[in-house]
Amino acid sequence: MEKKKIKLPHGIPGYNLSEIEREIPVTEPPAWPVNEELKVVGKRIKRTDALAMVTGTAQYTADVQLPGMLYGRMLRADFPHAKIKSIDTSAAENYPGVFAVHVFDNMIEGANPKDSQQRNYPEVKYAGQAILGVAATSNVIAEEALQLVKVEYEFKDFVADIDDALKENAPVVYATDVDQEGSDGGEEIEQGLKSKGNVRGPSEGSFYGGPRGDPEKGFAEADVIVEGTYRTQVQTHCPMETHGVVVDFDHGDVTVYASTQSTKGVRNDFAEHFNLPKSKVRVICDFMGGGFGAKHGLGNFGVMAGHLSKKSGRPVSLMLDRKEEHVSAGNRPNSIQHMKIGALRDGTLTAMKLVSYGTAGVGLGAGVGHIAQAMYECPNFKSQQYDVFTNAGPGAAFRAPGNVQGAFALEQIVDELSVVLDMDPLKLRDVIDKSTIRKVERIRGAEKFGWKNPKEAGSSNGPVKKGVGLAQAHWPRFVNLDSTVEIRVMRDGAIEVRSAVQDIGTGTKTILAQVVAEELGLKTEDITVMIGDTIFPIGPSSGGSIVTGAITPPARNAAYDVKLKLLDIAAGRLETETENIITENGFFMIKDNPDKKLHYKEVLSRMRTEQLTVTASRSDDYGGFMLGTIGYGELGSVQFVEVSVDTETGFIKVDRVVAAHSCGRPLNIAQIESQVNGGIIQGIAYALYENRIIDKDTGHQVNANLDQYKMPFSFEIPEIGIEMVEDYGARSSTDATGIGEPANIATAAAVANAVYNAIGVRIYELPITPAKVLEALNKVKKNDDE
Amino acid sequence: MNKFSFYDATSIEEALEKVNSTVSSTIQPGASEQASVLKAGGIDLLDLIKEGLSKPEKIVSIRNIPGMDEVSYDEKKGLSLGANVTLDKIATNARIKEDYLALHQAAEKAATPQIRKMATLGGNLAQRTRCWYFRSMYHDCFRKGSSVCYAQPGENQYHAIVMNEDCASVHSSSLSTALMAFDAAIEITGQGGKVKVISIHDFFVLPSVDRTRESILEANEIITAVIIPSAKGETKSHYIKMGERESNDWPIADVAVVAELNEDKCKKANIVLGAAAPVPFLSEPAMKVVKGKIINEESATAAGKAAMADATPLSQNAYKIPIFETIIKRALLALV
């Protein structure tokens, strides 16, 4: 491909901003200046779909109504481990209003045994596992029909608790070695590892490589060593909109309406399961009520809806209810992390060792990520991460998979190291953290928060003690080059942006409109964005904080191509050369004679054909893809938290949070703040409230609702201050990246560090409930018989 | 959720004619398939139906019966609250806030603003426990006819710390915590319009007495009002609820204190604990400690300790003891 050299802004305004020359394809546009000099990009732009969302006209998957549509419901196992001896569905099939019944013949979730022998029915591996489904004229009739199904089980011993599953004679979930492909959500699953009992692994590497140096030598060199065991709970995703699809299987042409983070993923899964060409499967996701990582593929419910639609010849809507969502639709695996860190007196790290165990139930992906490996400079590093199988619903990618768990351990042990070294934890990070972006975030965040070297832990007066803490996050900057945008320009003045990429709810539609508007000198509302439909060019999945960095450069590249074509038309009309024309405020005008101008709609009306279509993708990162390096070009964040802890009741109130973040070139400040707010709130929920509780003796989740599974509500949400740091990396035509995941990583650790600073006792296990605070303060007398 | 028919009753007589079962009876093994039950706000009933625990054939709404949502005050008789008075109305009534502060506080802290607009006083008193084993169709527990209490060996962090030997559930009405402290009376209308008035102290039923229900209500009865005696001159009250969240949450522990005071001296006090036992729990040991004493840090602390002296916590809920001790102390100190 022909290349050209351009100069792009590089670095952090107010700190080290400069210019850098990069070689880029000739088809891509010249560099944008920093945001300050732009009109639409980098501003607070109202969502283009805000009105539709707040007035209820936005159509979500559950809102889809098609002629003759049926409702699907699934029968779920009420015991956690069993062989199914027989299933009698005859009464359900004959029940008035029922049009189709389908029984699963394999388990389409979790990990797959390699020597999967042919069985009549897949084995039940967790309480709540779907066995079969029915489609009927209403949800009530479908549920009544399910009650008529007779299933004969042969019960087996089960284990639903990670500590029990680690015991020598624990019932075994999978008798053979198993594997599982990771989703586009970015869980790191190493293939081909062996299992012993319920324990699979260890995995010793990540995409940052394997172990480094010699940890034992590093510990021998250390002046101080800190060790600890950190535990995190299982968190379920709890999107407002549950998982679900509507499948319309019409003589081999299939339309799937899906609440999904990946229209292409659903399309690919559906085509594969039903042996159809991808071109026969159309997937539509207009609006999305949240995903957080668990909505990448078709899911077993989607497979079920496909079979029910195919059998009945009617469209089938199958939405999970809230209980199914908790039990079967994915979760953030728990973790037990044994961590050891060695340092010199000045803070320099000499060695780090991490051994972790986590359970994703019947699935894989319970590692604790790469954050310990990647965030700080430490010459000697080793981690061993084990998956533990339990008879519980499968985990799924969940907002920065692994790294939220990992950060809870890493950022607490670094905090503890600062206490041992008697150093300000902020200063310690200046020593051990080589990231430029986080350095600037520490400076600006500390200023906004008013951070001073924290007072001695537990030293405030009275029963309610104040404390402050900070924690950092690291997230790699991923891209997906298979990202394409089409722009269609019409003679009547319409400008449409089209891509299969879906808007997970963060405002992808709006940023696409902004980027195209900026390039064409228009306003956001001049642009119509039509996305979330696989009849358009394929876009990235909403996972790994990829979307913004993947799809906005193609949008700008396409808009640039459109602009070049329109400039030719305008130059002809204005009787000048193309290079003399600029676009601004909706006009094409002569640069040195702005009175000579044409409204853009007039330019469009002069097109030779009714419509003009341009399709563009993006090249590899300018300067080459940087994954694998630590520091610059990665997404950092630093969060500061203040809490009040009532030492008599154990009650914790998060008073305020200051979050300093970066995402390359910020595109829409309002939407970015909304995502960071969401990440912090979800992080506080993880720190203090959320916890999937399974009864060990029955294997059932006892809080599979939103009443007893505790989410934060309005009083739990603190004052949040956000400091956005522009960070130009000169990587693409927009130089933007996502922020969904970095927003969520540091919060729980920062809360835990603040709790320590408040009460002087460290709490090593999430969620930090009043019970744990009171126990840590030795205020709870244990039962005699314990 | 099962199908059911819905009847909107226009009078108490009519409602009583249509109803043939308490909600509690529908949860028991062998419950009638033709059960017809009362609904006021429907908050509790809907959750029970959604889980498949209660499958009534007919729901009789008393929500729109005229005259059941009135608040009146009589110097002699006291405060009378119709059974359909909403929690929101209790939380926003000026006289209740002035004279019955603990009730105001209990109502204000209950549920969400949306639920408070729907939930009624009668329904709140008649609601079933939120024990997650009781609420789960997969756990055939002691209260649903088996001999097993799953909470005792299981997940009992929110469960009872006193009187928990048969069933460790806690009563879920935090309004009752306050109402019991005020010695409220409950007006119940039976068949033929027969009215009886029961002290709230006799209204709740321990699982050891009858595992199938939590109050004495029968199928042919409706709570029609709650009466709270008029406040005597120097009576003061206070209510504290402690949850894991400040927003809508079930209490880990709550306490209501109503005391007759002479300056800072306590002539007598009612101290009632919620979320401590299967019924709202009147703590006589704590009351004895403060009776005739000046209320100060020392006596208030002693009252908290006395209340918890005989607690029998389970594997995961001993942390409730220091919380009760603290909120009892704080509620007493708030009076002076």
Strands A381-388 and A349-358 turn out to be parallel
Rounded CA gap, A631 and B126, in Å? 61
Q: What is the three-class DSSP state of A681?
A: helix
Give the model's pLDDT for residue A786: 42
A342-A347-A348-A353 Cα dihedral, nearest 10 degrees = 20
Suggest the residue from A780, A784, A786 to mutate for an interface test with chain B (most B CBs closer than 10 A). Answer: A780
Give the model's pLDDT for residue A119: 61
Which of chain A's residues have a Cβ under 8 Å away from the Cβ of B322? 648-650, 774, 779-780
Give the model's pLDDT for residue A252: 79
Which tens digit of pLDDT belongs to each residue from A673-703? 999 999 999 999 999 999 999 999 999 999 9
How large a percentage of chain A has pLDDT more than 70?
97
The CA-based diameter of chain A, rounded to the nearest angstrom, is 95
Rounded CA gap, B182 and B101, in Å? 10
Q: What is the distance in angstroms between the CA of the first residue and the CA of the last residue of chain A?
A: 72
Which tens digit of pLDDT belongs to each residue from A251-264? 879 999 999 999 99
Q: Tell me what the mean pLDDT of segment A52-59 comes to.
A: 95
Asked if the Cβ–Cβ distance from B246 to A716 is below 8 Å, we say yes
Give the model's pLDDT for residue A632: 42
Suggest the residue from A124, A702, A782 to mutate for an interface test with chain B (most B CBs closer than 10 A). Answer: A702
CB neighbours of B127 closer than 8 A, spacing ≥ 6? B43, B44, B172, B173
What predicted TM-score, i.e. pTM, was given to this entire model? Answer: 0.97
Which of chain A's residues have a Cβ under 8 Å away from the Cβ of B327? 649
Beta bridge partners of B185: B199, B227
Categorize the per-residue pLDDT at A107 as very low, low, confident or very high, splitting at 50, 70 and 90. Answer: confident
Chain B interface residues (partner A, CB cutoff 8 A)? 1-3, 47, 112, 130, 132-133, 136, 138-139, 150, 153-155, 157, 242, 244-250, 252, 313-319, 321-323, 326-327
Suggest the residue from A95, A137, A143, A649 to mutate for an interface test with chain B (most B CBs closer than 10 A). Answer: A649
Asked if the Cβ–Cβ distance from B321 to A650 is below 8 Å, we say no
| Residue of chain A whose Cα is closest to the Cα of B316 | A771
Which tens digit of pLDDT belongs to each residue from A194-214? 999 999 999 998 888 889 999
CA torsion sign for B248, B250, B252, B257 is positive
Give the model's pLDDT for residue A783: 57
C-beta of residue A142 within 8 angstroms of C-beta of residue A135: yes
Asked if the Cβ–Cβ distance from B248 to A78 is below 8 Å, we say no
CB neighbours of B98 closer than 8 A, spacing ≥ 6? none
C-beta of residue A58 within 8 angstroms of C-beta of residue A135: no
Which tens digit of pLDDT belongs to each residue from A156-173? 999 999 999 999 999 999
Categorize the per-residue pLDDT at A631 as very low, low, confident or very high, splitting at 50, 70 and 90. Answer: very low
* Tokens 């060996």 -> residue: B153
Give the model's pLDDT for residue A633: 52
Q: Tell me what the mean pLDDT of segment A541-564 comes to.
A: 96
- The ipTM assigned to this model is 0.97
CB neighbours of A14 closer than 8 A, spacing ≥ 6? none
Categorize the per-residue pLDDT at A529 as very low, low, confident or very high, splitting at 50, 70 and 90. Answer: very high
Beta bridge partners of A335: A232
- Residue B132 distance to chain A (closest CA, Å): 6
H-run or E-run covering B111: none
Which of chain B's residues have a Cβ under 8 Å away from the Cβ of A689? 244-245
Asked if the Cβ–Cβ distance from B1 to A783 is below 8 Å, we say no
- Residue A784 distance to chain B (closest CA, Å): 10
Asked if the Cβ–Cβ distance from A710 to B157 is below 8 Å, we say no
| Residue of chain A whose Cα is closest to the Cα of B51 | A323
Give the model's pLDDT for residue A206: 86
Specify the higher pLDDT residue, A18 or A461. Answer: A18
Which of chain A's residues have a Cβ under 8 Å away from the Cβ of B328? none
C-beta of residue B47 within 8 angstroms of C-beta of residue B55: no
Asked if the Cβ–Cβ distance from B155 to A651 is below 8 Å, we say no
Categorize the per-residue pLDDT at A785 as very low, low, confident or very high, splitting at 50, 70 and 90. Answer: very low
Asked if the Cβ–Cβ distance from B132 to A708 is below 8 Å, we say yes
CB neighbours of A89 closer than 8 A, spacing ≥ 6? A101, A103, A132, A149
User: A330 is written with which tokens?
Assistant: 């994915």
From the list A649, A700, A710, which residue is nearest B326 (CB)? Answer: A649
Which tens digit of pLDDT belongs to each residue from A588-602? 999 999 999 999 999
Give the model's pLDDT for residue A116: 54
- Residue B152 distance to chain A (closest CA, Å): 12
Residue type at position B213: R
Closest CA to A777 of A764, A758, A765, A759: A759
Write b or e for each residue in B247-276: b if 16 or more Cβ atoms lie within 10 A of its Cβ, otherwise e.
bbbbbbbbbbbbbbbeeeebeebbbbbbbb
Residue boundaries of the structural domains of chain B: 5-64, 71-126+178-228, 235-335
- Residue A76 distance to chain B (closest CA, Å): 12
CA dist B49 to A710, B39, B52, B141, Å?
22, 12, 5, 17
Q: Tell me what the mean pLDDT of segment A46-57 comes to.
A: 95
Domains of chain A: residue spans and CATH: 64-156+240-290+295-328 (3.90.1170.50), 160-233+334-433 (3.30.365.10), 435-475+630-786 (3.30.365.10), 480-616 (3.30.365.10)
What angle do helix axes A508-520 and A547-574 make, rounded to 10 degrees? 30
| pLDDT mean across residues, chain A | 95
Assigned fold of B235-335: Enolase-like; domain 1 (3.30.390)
Suggest the residue from B319, B325, B330 to mutate for an interface test with chain A (most A CBs closer than 10 A). Answer: B319
From the list A78, A715, A783, which residue is nearest B138 (CB)? Answer: A78
**Alpha helix stretches (DSSP H) within A433-574:** 436-449, 508-520, 547-574
| Residue of chain A whose Cα is closest to the Cα of B136 | A702
C-beta of residue A728 within 8 angstroms of C-beta of residue A12: yes
Which tens digit of pLDDT belongs to each residue from A298-341? 999 999 999 999 999 999 999 999 999 999 999 999 999 999 99
Q: Tell me what the mean pLDDT of segment A12-21 comes to.
A: 96
H-run or E-run covering A337: strand A335-343
What does CATH list as the number for B71-126+178-228?
Answer: 3.30.465.10
- Residue A715 distance to chain B (closest CA, Å): 5
The CATH architecture annotation of domain B5-64 reads: 2-Layer Sandwich (3.30)
Give the model's pLDDT for residue A454: 83
Asked if the Cβ–Cβ distance from B138 to A698 is below 8 Å, we say yes
Which of chain A's residues have a Cβ under 8 Å away from the Cβ of B321? 780-781
Asked if the Cβ–Cβ distance from A783 to B314 is below 8 Å, we say yes
Task: Give every residue of chain B whose pLDDT is below 50, as ranges.
Answer: none
| Residue of chain A whose Cα is closest to the Cα of B135 | A702
Chain A interface residues (partner B, CB cutoff 8 A)? 78, 127, 140, 143-144, 648-651, 653, 688-689, 693, 695-698, 700, 702-703, 707-708, 710, 712-716, 769-771, 774-775, 779-783, 786
Q: Tell me what the mean pLDDT of segment A498-506 comes to.
A: 97
C-beta of residue A486 within 8 angstroms of C-beta of residue A538: no
- Residue A297 distance to chain B (closest CA, Å): 29
Secondary structure percentages of chain B, helix, strand, coil, to 5? 30, 20, 45
Model confidence at A175: pLDDT above 80:
yes
Question: Chains A, B: CB contacts under 8 A, how many?
Answer: 100
Write b or e for each residue in A387-416: b if 16 or more Cβ atoms lie within 10 A of its Cβ, otherwise e.
bbbbbbbbbbbbbbbbbbbbbbbbbbbbbb
Which of chain B's residues have a Cβ under 8 Å away from the Cβ of A651? 242, 244
Asked if the Cβ–Cβ distance from B319 to A716 is below 8 Å, we say no
C-beta of residue B166 within 8 angstroms of C-beta of residue B142: yes
